[in-house]
Amino acid sequence: MTSEEKKALFLLKSVIFHYHGLDEDEQKILDETAKQLDAQDELKWANEFISKDYLSAFERAREYLNETIGNYDKSIRLEYLDQVWQANNKKGYITEMEATAMLKLAKDWHVENELIEMVRK
């Protein structure tokens, strides 16, 4: 995975977790993933991206992600969304706000139906 791919993945995960306010369990998940992928710099970049303007973070991230992940192969777009879904499952729950944010991105990336089918399984 390239640094740019890691940035996109961490921005996606982070912005979804921040959508309702990042909690301690979510931060642990992000930190663990950063260690596994040797991506501490990319996680730091994503957090700085969000902290520049918390209120507009999702829309700014959405624009950035549409320009990056939106151009990836469909299977990769779904894999990134699946990783975020699984991270939410790891913490034990997913909020309606997080699910809605993921659906917005899936719609942008033309994988909304596939995400819904994946979640149903």
Alpha helices in 21-111 (DSSP H): 24-37, 40-51, 57-68, 74-91, 96-108
Band of residue 41 on the pLDDT scale cut at 50, 70, 90: very high
| Sequence letter at residue 43 | L
Band of residue 11 on the pLDDT scale cut at 50, 70, 90: very high
Q: What tokens were used for 33?
A: 């993933």
Q: What residue ranges do the domains of the chain occupy?
A: 3-120
Three-state DSSP at 109 gives coil
Is the pLDDT assigned to residue 105 strictly greater than 90?
yes
